[in-house]
Amino acid sequence: MEANVRTRWDISWRDADEWQHAVAMLSSFFRTRTDDAQPLRLAALRVKMLIDAIDSFIQEQTAVVCPWCTDVCCIDRHGAFDLHDLIYAFALDLPLPHYSHDHREIDPCRFLDASGCRLVRWQRPFRCTWHFCDALIKHMHNLPAKKVRGFNAAFQELLAARAEMLTAFEHIVQKRKQQHH
């Protein structure tokens, strides 16, 4: 089961068997590897804290751009967890969202309502949180450069922390595979 982890980052919740397999594998992993998973849990907590730290900046910008949007980019495709998101969610003991298979990828995101996303930013799929449409990017080009540089630096730190979290996961998987050989 774990041998596929390294190569199958592209799981799809639209494939119920694939989704259930990934969830079962990660559930077992976090249930049985509690000691090994501690560095992974700490790395995921750091990712959450970094997301929280830049949330207000993103909220300020989306509050200006999104209410006037005529081509909503919050579509179902961006609201789906991938394996990276599942690792993060399991590391933080987050409840997993329920996905029904009756939505098309281009339908409005199932988590979107009249006031915006129902999920707090740190609980959203990574690609959803960091998908910046053209209008948002254009708006950000008009912000003071110092503010944008600060955001960019914080975002780079977030990307590095997320990479560390995923590396910690792969390290645990590799260690476990070596123990079984």
pLDDT digits (tens, 9 = 90+) for 102-117: 778 888 888 888 878 8
Report whether pLDDT(34) > 80. no
pLDDT bin (cut points 50, 70, 90) of residue 5 is very low
Cα Rg, the chain, nearest whole Å: 18
Average pLDDT, the chain: 84
Q: For 75, how many CA atoms within 13 A lie in the half-sphere containing its CB?
A: 10
At 58, the amino acid letter reads I
Q: Is 141 left (phi over 0), alpha (psi -120 to 50) or beta?
A: alpha
* Residue with the larger pLDDT of the pair 16 and 139: 139
Residue 162: predicted pLDDT: 93
Domain ranges of the chain: 2-179
* CA–CA dist 106, 78 (Å, integer): 9
Higher pLDDT, 159 or 179: 159
Which of 57 and 37 is assigned the larger pLDDT? 57
Q: pLDDT tens for residues 60-110? A: 999 899 888 887 788 888 888 888 899 999 999 998 887 767 778 888 888
Tokens of 40: 């992974």
Question: What is residue 87's predicted lDDT score, i.e. its pLDDT?
Answer: 92
Q: Following CA atoms 85, 37, 161, 7 in sequence, which dihedral angle do they give, to the nearest 10 degrees?
A: -50
Return the closest-CA partner of residue 72 out of 123, 111, 124, 107.
Answer: 107
CB-based burial label for 46 (10 Å; 0-12, 13-18, 19+): middle
Helix (H/G/I), strand (E/B), else coil: 101: coil
